[in-house]
Structures are given as C-alpha cells and as structure tokens.
Amino acid sequence: MMQCRPGCGACCIAPHISSAIPGMPEGKPAGVRCINLDAGNNCLIWQRDDYPLVCQDFTAHREHCADNRLQALQILTRMEDETRPD
C-alpha cells in the first residue's frame, strides 16, 4: 500500500464507475474525468458524507500507481480495458 499522490486523479479518470456519484447520477464511463476533480486533479468530495463507497474502497498500491500520474493513468486504463465485459 502507498499514499495517494496529491494531484494525480488517475483513479478518478481511468476506471468505469457503475454506481451513482455526486454530480454523476448514472456513474462515470471509463476514461471520463470525474466531475468531482478540481483543476489540480484533487477530489473535491474526499471524506465528505457523500464520498462514494466505490471510491472509499480503492487503495493505492505501487502496482497500480507506479511512480507518477502518467504511469498510473496508463496502468489503470490498461486494467480497465483488460477487465471490460465483452
């Protein structure tokens, strides 16, 4: 496990989120930036009461997040592509 990098936001862009999230009642498609990210790629709803469970359940690990934001986006996008239902 590792600490999330401030300003990364890769986990808020790459994956598909099927459950409703604040501002996105139908969820979020893969590759679409979450509406709750600010201009600096920081979550605006982090630790609020309406912070989604799916987001709470994500834990940063080096194998997913690598050494920088670009690597994290590439890895998480590849994982999303490899696990997308046919």
Question: Band of the pLDDT at 84, cuts 50, 70, 90?
Answer: confident
Residue 3 tokens, joined: 């600490």
Secondary structure of residue 64 in the 3-state scheme: helix
Question: Band of the pLDDT at 3, cuts 50, 70, 90?
Answer: confident
pLDDT per residue as tens digits for the range 7-58? 999 999 999 999 999 999 999 999 999 999 999 999 999 989 999 999 999 9
Question: Band of the pLDDT at 65, cuts 50, 70, 90?
Answer: very high
**What is the reported pLDDT for 27?**
95
- More confident call, 24 vs 1: 24
